[in-house]
Amino acid sequence: MSGKQAIAVFDSGVGGLTVFAELSKILPNETIVYLGDTLRCPYGDRSVETIKKFSVEITNFLLTRDVKMIIAACNTVSSVALDCVKETAGEIPVIGVVEAGCRAAVQSSQAKRIGVIGTRATIGAGAYGKGIRAINPEIVVYEKACPLLVHLVEEGEVDSRITDVALQKYLYDLLDFGIDSLVLGCTHYPLLYNAVLRCVGDGVSVINGAKFVAEEAKKILAKNELLTDKKIGEDIIFATDITPQFERLAAAFLMGAKKNVVKVKL
């Protein structure tokens, strides 16, 4: 591996572009290859066996792009199939958003009461609770599935009254438990950051996993002397289906930045 190789990021759809955006801020000299499996998303309600199969297919595709790191930006994959990605990737470093989010939450929480919101699959797997308690067994974790939130983001309702109502409904129990940190356990959720802040108030730290994944990627690449000081190639976004909604959401997730988008068959 060398510093000239690209960083690969993948997700079941468009949400992982929040990780892409954070990487672009923190590592502006790096070339990023992104794959969104938009044809088969969402993964949240898929079986574990199917998620693992899709994850291996995606990893094998990314390996053909000559990459030096793979980031599983899908919380569902990070929860139930990260071992498959690591095994397929071999010596190439692999980061999952769940691992990074767990570490950030533990560092943030003083009351040792952490809330996590995500898709049904992510919450059902209990990966955040297991990961957080593995770091500090004294921490109490409250996890909540919030299936409506992804749909609200994809409909552009990131700062609307209906989203505020949905968040109040989902977060009421967690706030009642006295959490002092809340993990956004889905890559769509950073777009709801301001709405979540309005709902939880000043007493709760909101953990944007995308930011911490990008910071962790920088640390790992630096440790392995794989950072580059000059951008070599163009960033590229692959998608298994390109729809008007995907293009609209990609523009929103990347704050209007123009990127090459290429349809690919796995």
Catalytic (active-site) positions: 74, 186
Can you read off the two tokens belonging to residue 42? 């969402």
Q: What are phi and psi of 98, to 5 degrees?
A: -65, -45
Q: CA separation (Å) from 265 to 13, 57, 76, 249?
A: 14, 10, 21, 21
Q: Are strands 260-263 and 6-11 parallel, antiparallel or unpaired?
A: unpaired
Can you read off the two tokens belonging to residue 37? 């499996």
- In the numeric block, the tokens 């998303």 are attached to 41
- In the numeric block, the tokens 């498959």 are attached to 84
Burial 97-129 (b: 16+ CB within 10 A, else e): bbbbbbbbbbebbeeebbbbbbbebbbbbebbb
Give 3-state DSSP helix, strand, coil % of the chain, rounded to 5.
50, 20, 35
